[in-house]
Amino acid sequence: MNNNEALVICRCEEVTYGQVFATAKEHQCTSRELKLRTRAGMGFCGGRTCRVMVDRIIESIVPNTGEGEIPLKYQPPIRPITFGTAGEKND
């Protein structure tokens, strides 16, 4: 395994470049299918940090795949709260 294959693409789910690349090459899949197969983009951030890289890997491997062909969607937090509320002490 070289250094590129060990590079973590999705920090939330700990999915490496090697895993994403191998899955995309083997299955010739869309971003959504790759997400379901590897869990890249399904973590706490909802794909905000890895979505672009996953899309670029798909575009480089699967022929005739344009940007945004079933794009991954962002998952916002369920309910936003202020920092004051999060840091409040309950005695």
Phi, psi at 52, each rounded to 5°: -65, -45
Question: pLDDT at residue 72 above 70?
Answer: no
Question: pLDDT at residue 79 above 80?
Answer: no
Question: Residue 63's pLDDT is what?
Answer: 76
For residue 16, give the 3-state DSSP assignment: strand
For residue 15, give the 3-state DSSP assignment: strand
Cα separation, 16 vs 1, whole angstroms: 11
Cα separation, 27 vs 23, whole angstroms: 6
Question: Residue 31's pLDDT is what?
Answer: 81
Question: pLDDT of 6-56, one tens digit each?
Answer: 899 999 899 999 999 999 899 988 888 888 899 998 888 878 888 888 888
- Please state the rounded mean pLDDT for residues 61-78: 62
Task: Give the global pTM.
Answer: 0.66
By C-alpha distance, which of 3, 20, 2 is closest to 11? 20
